[in-house]
Structure 1
Amino acid sequence: PSEDADLQSMGRRLAHRGATLSIRRFSPRLALGAVGRNAAEQILQRGDCAFVCDATVCNRVELASELITRRREAPSASAGLLLEWLDAFGPPGTDGIDGEFSFALVDMAKERALFGRDYFGCRALYCTVLPEGALAFATEYKAFRALASFKPVPDPEMLQYVQGAKRLPVGRTLLRNVWAIQPGGTTELDATGRELSHHRAPPLTVNVQVRDAETAAELVRRKLTDAVRRRSEDLDPIGLALSGGIDSISVAFVLRNLYPKRTIHTFTAGYGMDDPEMATAADVAKEIGSIHHPVLTPPSLVQRELRTLAWHLEEPFARSEALQLMMVGRAAREYVDVLLSAQGSDGLFAGADKYLLLYLMQRLPPLRRGLHEFYDLSQTGRPPQGWLGKVFDRLYFKGKVPPMPRVKGAKGTFELSTLPSFGPEFVNRCMAGSYQLGMCRSLQKFDRTFAASGIEYRSPFYDLDLVRSAYTITDRLKIRGRKAKVILREALAPLVPERFTQIRKFPQRMKYDIAFADTMDSLADAVLSPERVKRRGIFEPEDIRRLRLRAPGEAYPPEAAMRLWTAILTEYWAEFFLDGGPLADEPPTAATTAIHA
């Protein structure tokens, strides 16, 4: 953008991400801005190149040692270290950086920019080309609304996709003229947004070397401890988003084992102390001696905060725990600047229900096609086509999940997903093949909800050494029948009391009871009224009517509730990014939510 006032306005839309805003103009055609706790340190210049980043480098000691060996400087700040490393090793050097980062390195003489993101895309970076031919980029694309020439162009195919898949494909947004830089490497663009080159880090592969439980448990315990240390050693006090599952329980006990005297704050969201998640988390907090903060998320929260959540997410992410996490971030900001989470463990140790389906596919060849179709139904909303897939759908959902609403102008065709060939380590190969992009697709769930309160998030399960080590362990030690994360539980035995390692995991989500259903209906009456739906022109009113069908005195089943949730968030998204207006330029308040409802 040519005017510094544009960057000031862009920065105001991202003010929730940090207390300071810094802007530097390098030429009449280039200015960079940053928002953060120390924004001025995020913008640097070296010769004809200008640099801006949002970065936390977790292996800074190793990087600094390598730079010193090469007789180069090793700056202490992440931005300087990142720039020095890029200068020394170029785009392939990003493969060796363990941490969460995004950056732009602009060569002013050649009028081209090198963009990069960490392997799992924990830090977002969006781009758009303006009508005058200028390239703009930002951590959240709501910032583009500050630019007078930016005109959003909705993408019907992506609007349709998210209604069933609950998340968007990596690199895509709900706008045709906004895209995300790919994770795990670099992309070089010219001033008009044309791609000049790119570098991608090697994909994750399965290289099984460990088949006995004792060796595997020791490996997991050691690598997890190292991963937690790398992402927490600079924190005091320490914050942890604690659920009732083995993943965050493992992080809690490893933290206390590493830091016997540090203050640890734990935060858990739930619908009340009869929520199994909250009860277990409180027990864990007492065991490790943390300062525990229960965060209550009653159904009334949906009416009050869902519009605010939509503004921060920038896509209709179909998970009610996203709202809970936003409230956790809000509670945590009084005590810590960073929250650790246990995001990512499922894809390393086969912890989600979808891995049970993959396990059954491998073991039951006659049922593979039907299980595959049911798997896709659970992941993308693609309706089963064969009779066996339809049987599984009927048995599990009992006919209570309405079809996803059709988006006008979208073809809405979904092919059956492609899986690795069946055979040894099938579950491991499925996990490794989808882990990187799967983590990136979950970005909104943690980054956006915590950043809403200026909180940085980190997960030890994004540690590249831990991730690669996990895929050297045979999947037979990870899943046995319905028992998941077997080796993780065994690895934790010396650190965690048995009553926690064998605990049953309940879904982290809001309580889908009648009160929740009534709240959703109240919102839908206003946000998805037939008149408003017709005026908006995204959905057919009849499809929304079918979404809202439920028997008197019954709650919405979870999948049906989330389809209605997605449709409501879609309307809020359209209000912010298609309609615009002053109320879309800052986080909505309870008052403005009530007005718009």
Structure 2
Amino acid sequence: MCGIAGIFHYETVKPVDPKRVETMTNALAHRGPDGAGVWTAPGVGLGHRRLSIIDLAGSPQPMHSADGRAVIVFNGEIYNYRRLRRELEQGGAQFRTDGDTETILAAWQKWGPRCLERLDGMFAFALYDCATRQLFLARDRLGVKPLYIAELPGGALAFASELKGLLANPLLRRTIDPLAIEDFMTWGYVPDHRAILRGVRKLPAGHYELLEHGRTPASPVQWWDVSFAERSRGSQQDHSAELLHLMREGVTSRMVADVPLGAFLSGGVDSSSVVALMSEASAQPVTSCSIGFDVAGVDETAHARKVAELFRTDHHERIVSADQFDEIDRIAAIFDEPFADASALPTLRVCELAREHVTVALSGDGADEALAGYRRQLFHAREEQARAVLPQFLREPVFGALGSIWPKADWAPRPLRAKATLLSLAQNGEAGYARALAILAPEQRAAIYGEGMIRDRGDYRAEQPFETLMRGAPTRSGLDRAQYADLKFWLPGDILTKTDRTSMAVGLEAREPLLDHRFIEFAARLPHRQRIRGTMGKWLMKHTMERYLHDDILYRPKQGFVTPIADWFRGPLADAARSVASSELLVGSGWFARKPLAELAEAHIAGRSDNSRVLWQLLVLERSLRHLKPSG
């Protein structure tokens, strides 16, 4: 795992200062503490920071192809590189190293952009072909590895693994995009279709760009997508056997490393399944790491400990308490863009713990998106059934009116908290699922925005790109569309961003075996009944893993990586909650109105409502804006 950065002049070929590229890569030193390198040629410069995982001494970057024609900087791992290398050698390719980086160079020279279809792994890379004078930027299928791109003055592009690599370039303008704030206040993160700074963008997952000197950059090209449009035939027994085979393949392929390797273990189905299959494949005890909380109701360490005892892992655990939550400034610096998933801190803590024992850790990310493990997906499938029976002209006035008067009763038992469901049923499926996924609905955002934000965002609403994505999805049902949106929008924007930044912040490589693309493509073809049965998601996976895991792990209610911020904002962090209403960056900018922010904080502290998520969003945004301000 590494950090990459570079500069490319597409308008006029100009010299690239290697010191500038070096400054950009040095800003990514945490991603690659084991080595650094810079290469420049007329109109192009590539930089690299290395975290050595495979071929520890023999694969420095930037790396040249054997014939000197191409140069690459690469962040990620190619899990099938040995098989691919043998195929390329049979075609005459020669190799000087034992790592996966050189395999990409040879694959590019044989297949061009189509080489991506043959790569099984997580990656973001920049490859410059000296013969054609083209720069090839590519990102893996699901967006495990990030790549930011910025437009610079004078017809140049800069790119980097993280925004901080671009921030190190003095030519980058630090102008906040108000539409990104609208996106952030809706989702709790800045999705991949936008960046917090104007003039900066992210290469979307499963896309590439081919840049040439003297030619304006074209739009990114999508090279992979997942389709839910087909259904697998065969018995449940056959599907269970194939699922287990693909899970084993995903796990064992990600256990290849020349450094110590372990796993995150929360005690839930996904991470426990990964640990079970790692233990099956390993002759040595698996190193497992867990994080708990000082609030008993959200602490899962006892469940993780049961799994660790079952598979006799070398287990380590640590407790996160409220007094550690003052590291919000560190979180802002790690993510650069505002990122309000409150599990970022415990994720950072488990990465820190893991790094004390291993250099690579496997996670359970991906199964909920692939196999319908989120409760919102089940609710959406049922709502779509209701929409199919009741036409829009009836639903909109009836459910809309009921939803508008139904109280927002956070304190009430779940069956009585029907406001969100009623408002969702009043809308079409895409708008309804956007409402289910959003932290703040349009009317809630409007209630706290100031005049400046109302003016700057104009007609734009953050739900629009999300709904467009769902409408164009290659799917057959409402459940399919919800899962597709989670895989393409939520997964890269939230889950994978969180894992990448927190692991890389401490020099740890995280790998996601349940995001193996063959597993994802297989899961997308499963019949509904093998994804959801009754009120249970991930049914086939749980059924399959019965041979490994006890029922109290497989079938207990899903908890997730929850943090007790609601309690903390009523106790040790109450002053922090109140501080958002006096922030010059939030209120003084005109983006937010002071009075409603103060009311949100006081209502939460008094226990009248649970506003912890929006308060955390506002606090994170304020600290991120501080971080992004130009120094001096």
TM-score range, shorter chain: 0.7 to 0.9
Q: In the alignment, is the contact (CA less than 8 A) between 1:320 and 1:510 conserved in 2?
A: yes
Consecutive unaligned residues of structure 2, counting only runs of 5 or more, are: 1-6, 8-15, 409-415, 421-438
1:377 equivalent in structure 2: none
- Aligned-pair CA distance for 1:342: 0.8
Which deviates further from its counterpart, 520-529 or 220-229?
Answer: 520-529
Give the whole-Å Cα distance in 2 for the aligned partners of 1:550 and 1:569: 19
1:571 to 602, 622, 630: 622
1:64 paired to 2:85:
yes
| Matched-pair contact (CA < 8 Å) for 2:289–2:353 | no
Q: Which residue in 2 is equivalent to 1:14? A: 28
Taking the aligned partners of 1:295 and 1:370, their CA distance within structure 2 comes to: 54
Alignment of 1:73-472 (within 5 A): 73=94, 76-108=98-130, 111-190=133-212, 194-196=216-218, 198-206=220-228, 207-210=230-233, 212-234=235-257, 237-271=260-294, 275-303=298-326, 305-365=327-387, 366=389, 386-387=400-401, 389-390=403-404, 394=408, 395-396=416-417, 403-404=444-445, 405-406=448-449, 408=453, 409-411=456-458, 412-413=460-461, 414-415=463-464, 417=467, 419=470, 425-432=477-484, 434-442=486-494, 443-472=496-525
Task: Quote how far apart the aligned CAs of 1:546 are.
Answer: 3.5
Question: Matched residue of 1:480: which SS?
Answer: coil
Partner in structure 1 of residue 11 of structure 2: none
Equivalent positions of 1:15-54 (< 5 A) are: 15-27=29-41, 29-38=43-52, 41-46=60-65, 47-54=68-75
Equivalent residue, structure 2, for 1:487: 540
What is the TM-score with the length of structure 2 in the denominator? 0.82
CA distance in 1, matches of 2:251, 2:391: 38
- C-alpha contact (below 8 Å) 1:142/1:577 kept by paired residues: no
Whole-angstrom CA distance in 2 between matches of 1:344 and 1:85: 28
Tell me the TM-score normalized by structure 1: 0.87
- Larger deviation: 358-367 or 163-172? 358-367
1: CA distance between counterparts of 2:19 and 2:290?
A: 39
CA-atom RMSD in angstroms? 3.1
Alpha-carbon shift at residue 138 of structure 1 (Å) = 0.7
Distance 2:299 2:182 in 1: 35
Shift of 1:469: 1.4
Return the offset for 1:392. Answer: 7.5
Residue identity opposite 2:356 in structure 1: E
What are the superposed Cα offsets for residues 517-556 of structure 1, whole Å, 9 maximum, x if unpaired?
Answer: 3344322444652555444443232342243232554286
Question: Equivalents in 1 of 2:490, 2:211: separation in Å?
Answer: 25
Which of residues 594, 615, 632 in structure 2 aligns to 1:541? Answer: 594
Does structure 2 conserve the Cα–Cα contact (< 8 Å) formed by 1:237 and 1:265?
Answer: no
| Distance in 2 between residues matched to 1:556 and 1:238, nearest whole Å | 44
Q: Which moved further from structure 2: 418-427 or 178-187?
A: 418-427
Q: Sort the Cα spacing of 1:453 and 1:76 in 2 relative to 1 into closer, same or farther, 3 A.
A: same
Residue aligning to 1:379: none
Amino acid at match of 1:223: L
Moved more, 287-296 or 89-98: 287-296
Alignment size in residue pairs: 568
**Residues 144 and 422 from structure 1, CA distance in 2 versus in 1: closer, same or farther, beyond 3 angstroms?**
closer
Letter of the 1:492 counterpart = M
8 Å Cα contact 1:348/1:470 also seen in 2 = yes
Matched residues in 2 for 1:95 and 1:388: separation? 50
Letter in 2 for 1:455: L
Match of 2:559 in 1: 506
After superposing the two structures, state which structure 1 stretch, 566-575 or 507-516, moved more: 507-516
Q: Aligned partners of 1:469, 1:343: CA distance in 2, in Å?
A: 16
